[in-house]
Structure 1
């Protein structure tokens, strides 16, 4: 067969039985953006669209075995790291990423608020994973936890980039009356802002919102975009997915990552 092969994204995240977040969100986003998703499950969750009820961490040895098997078989073009429940997971993923330094890594720090974690997980991520990260996705609360010694948002971002992290996308860093401002910090370019106008639900009212945005960044990196290009394109994709969110259960809305399949015209109010 001579059919073109889509770029492969390797995602490490929990299994969400609702199909709304975790590896399900990553898979849907990757497929929507023309990538092939390969998934490593880091935890098994018991939840509905309203709340997480319980979570069981996958044994670290099995996480390693899953990731190694995929990386040795497929030409992975980008890696997205989502929620990790164990410090041992960070240690294992660190050792794996060290063996594949050319593959861009997207680390979704926002995912760490979605589950049940062991003490020390944030410190382990800063020490072990940030130095190997091409793009960190977080919000202001996440940065406060990861870099409490910084007295401003700019200072926190600069401290984290000093670890080796190349860029940081901060969601909801500034609000105006009708818009939410996201910001991109880079080691090589001035900070850049993206304005989300009114017309779509706030990310905190959605299940799988952060996974949608970070996975979209990974997808565009897998297609060969620069970090700046990938973030801009991912912002546009996520805005459309949020604006066309659907209610599949009795809890939170879910981003429609296949919004482009709708017959109706989709709203366009994203600005950069």
Structure 2
């Protein structure tokens, strides 16, 4: 007996061979939150708990073919972008997103949790000028805020001006993630029409946080695909990623991943 398909979410990102971030984290998050995850792989990384040993971009035509294959036949209720690596891939994805009516969550991935570059320096301007205007929501961490705007955020009071600078680049909403500041983990959602929402959670003493940014962006995309409005989608995603951080576990000799399956175990 045929069942109704769940909401469909497409992730456009790199593959993490260690399974903690990238495409792997995105699909685990989508499954946990009850949507059907689909993928466009932009790059393959050799990656483990100690860092990124190398990455190889896919040709733009391979990215384009994956995207159109899914969107033209299956359709999407939301799209999430992550690691895009190069100018050519950023341009390609921005062009493809121009034809999509569904909400787009852009995680402007610049470096890995270990500090390894995942976006060519010369591609930052392209991401700023061509991809961010396509975004329904952009989800930069503080390093990415500085990379995109030149603004260094050192305290919570500086997050709103940074959000305003990002909004001027074109996204409808911006979620500035304050996870690298001291105190509680505070994130600011700001909208183009002056909206402002703060989300706070306890800071857990757990170093195993690999995949946090990918997980949060994918969780927001999943909630948007289910029909949530942006403030509620971010609140639900924040709750999910907070639980995942709390349950983060050791793998290998370095930084382990967050626990994407924590909801199934409580």
**TM-score over 0.5 (shorter chain):** yes
Structure 1: gaps (5+ residues): 267-272
How far apart are the structure 1 equivalents of 2:200 and 2:151? 28
Instruction: Encode CA deviations 1:15-70: one digit per residue, 9 max, x unaligned.
Output: 11111111000000000001111111111111211110011111111111111111
Question: Are 1:108 and 1:211, in contact at CA under 8 Å, matched by a contact in 2?
Answer: yes
Correspondence list, 1:11-160, <5 A = 11-100=11-100, 102-109=101-108, 111-114=109-112, 115-148=117-150, 152-160=158-166
**Cα shift at 1:94:** 1.4
How far apart are the structure 2 equivalents of 1:41 and 1:98? 19
How far apart are the structure 1 equivalents of 2:245 and 2:205? 6
Q: Say which is worse superposed, 150-159 or 130-139, in terms of deviation.
A: 150-159
| 1:208 equivalent among 195, 211, 217 | 211
How far apart are the structure 2 equivalents of 1:23 and 1:206? 16
Q: Partner of 1:248 in structure 2?
A: 251
| 1:259 equivalent among 259, 262, 266 | 262
How far apart are the structure 1 equivalents of 2:124 and 2:141? 14
How far apart are the structure 2 equivalents of 1:145 and 1:18? 26
Q: Partner of 2:176 in structure 1?
A: 170
Question: Are 1:181 and 1:193, in contact at CA under 8 Å, matched by a contact in 2?
Answer: yes
| 1:228 equivalent among 198, 212, 231 | 231
Q: What is the TM-score when the length of structure 2 is the normalising length?
A: 0.91
**Cα shift at 1:172:** 1.4
How far apart are the structure 1 equivalents of 2:253 and 2:8? 34
Cα 1:141–1:228 shift into 2, 3 Å? same
| 1:187 equivalent among 180, 185, 192 | 192
Q: Partner of 2:201 in structure 1?
A: 196
How far apart are the structure 2 equivalents of 1:200 and 1:237? 17
**Cα shift at 1:189:** 4.5
Instruction: Encode CA deviations 1:107-161: one digit per residue, 9 max, x unaligned.
Output: 002x221244323211111110111101100122211111127995433322321
Q: What is the TM-score when the length of structure 1 is the normalising length?
A: 0.89
Query: How many residues end up aligned between the 2 structures?
Result: 258
Q: Give the 3-state SS of the residue equivalent to 1:27 in structure 2.
A: helix
**Cα shift at 1:261:** 2.0
Cα 1:173–1:252 shift into 2, 3 Å? closer
Tell me how large the CA RMSD over aligned residues is. Answer: 1.9
How far apart are the structure 2 equivalents of 1:255 and 1:67? 28
Q: Partner of 1:269 in structure 2?
A: none
Cα 1:45–1:65 shift into 2, 3 Å? same
